[in-house]
């Protein structure tokens, strides 16, 4: 989610001073720049969450940057601060850094677009959106070109393969728990050979 949408206010306009008695409560409205920012968050998450080797672990610097960008709680100032400052792509695995550079340039273009559009009240995003669209098209094409031979892995991929979740088990092979349950519900078979015979009393 775009940070301004989360905060429900514009974050990149110039600092202004309201005159005494002046009503300057500007109504926040969603605009297409927020959609562009959401696309950037997806690309950023992909790079900062993953690793480049099977069974690998992210560096402590990558983990720190990831939690700064994605703190896991709503209305976090951490995300807004991260959007307002430069993106450190050098904490990424070496094979990710060229793509990370492109994502960092996209980030700079987003911030520039917000600042340009919010010079007026309400924001005029028309020209800023056109520039941002061109920047995104160029940077995404470049990131794709340098990522053709790049491999990405979840930090937990190896563990998942060694210990697959229950829903990946072969349905033809019931679990031990199910077998035990089925066995406990079976009634013992009646053995008629041990019951006394009434044949001699008839």
Q: What are the residues whose beta carbons fall under 8 Å from the beta carbon of 12, sequence distance 6 or more? A: 111, 114, 115, 118
DSSP output for 143-170 = HHHHTTT---B-TTHHHHHHS--GGGS-
Separation CA 132–CA 154 (nearest Å)? 30
Separation CA 119–CA 47 (nearest Å)? 32
Domain residue ranges of the chain, discontinuous segments joined by +: 3-13+28-146
What pTM does this model have? 0.73
Separation CA 142–CA 98 (nearest Å)? 9
Tens digit of each residue's pLDDT (9 = 90 or more) over 123-156: 999 999 999 999 999 999 998 898 888 899 999 7
Q: Residue 170's pLDDT is what? A: 38
Q: Residue 109's pLDDT is what? A: 97
Tens digit of each residue's pLDDT (9 = 90 or more) over 55-104: 899 999 999 999 999 988 766 688 888 898 889 999 999 999 999 999 99
Are 103 and 139 in contact by the 8 Å Cβ rule? The answer is: yes
Smallest CA-to-CA distance from 101 within 139, 150, 153 is with: 139
Average pLDDT, the chain: 81
Distances 52 to 110, 126, 151, 152 between C-alpha atoms, Å: 27, 39, 6, 5
Percent above pLDDT 90 for the chain: 54
Are 44 and 103 in contact by the 8 Å Cβ rule? The answer is: yes
- Binning pLDDT at 50, 70 and 90, where does residue 189 land? low
Separation CA 28–CA 8 (nearest Å)? 6
Q: Does residue 40 surpass a pLDDT of 90? A: yes
Q: Residue 32's pLDDT is what? A: 97
- Residue 16 — φ and ψ, nearest 5°? -125, 155
């Amino acid at each position: 989610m775009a940070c301004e949408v989360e905060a429900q206010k514009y974050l990149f306009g110039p600092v202004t001073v309201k005159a005494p008695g002046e009503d300057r409560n500007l109504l926040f409205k969603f605009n297409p720049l927020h959609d562009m920012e959401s696309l950037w968050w997806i690309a950023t998450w992909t790079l900062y969450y993953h690793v480049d080797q099977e069974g690998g672990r992210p560096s402590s610097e990558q983990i720190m940057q990831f939690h700064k960008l994605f703190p896991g709680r709503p209305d976090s100032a951490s995300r807004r601060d991260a959007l307002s400052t430069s993106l450190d792509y050098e904490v990424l695995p070496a094979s990710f850094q060229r793509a990370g550079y492109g994502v960092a340039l996209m980030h700079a273009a987003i911030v520039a677009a917000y600042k340009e559009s919010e010079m007026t009240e309400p924001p005029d995003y028309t020209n800023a959106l056109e520039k941002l669209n061109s920047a995104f098209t160029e940077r995404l094409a470049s990131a794709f070109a340098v990522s053709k031979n790049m491999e990405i892995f979840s930090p937990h991929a190896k563990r998942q393969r060694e210990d697959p979740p229950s829903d990946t088990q072969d349905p033809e092979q019931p679990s031990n728990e199910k077998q035990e349950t089925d066995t406990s519900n079976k009634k013992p078979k009646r053995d008629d050979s041990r019951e006394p015979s009434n044949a001699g009393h008839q």
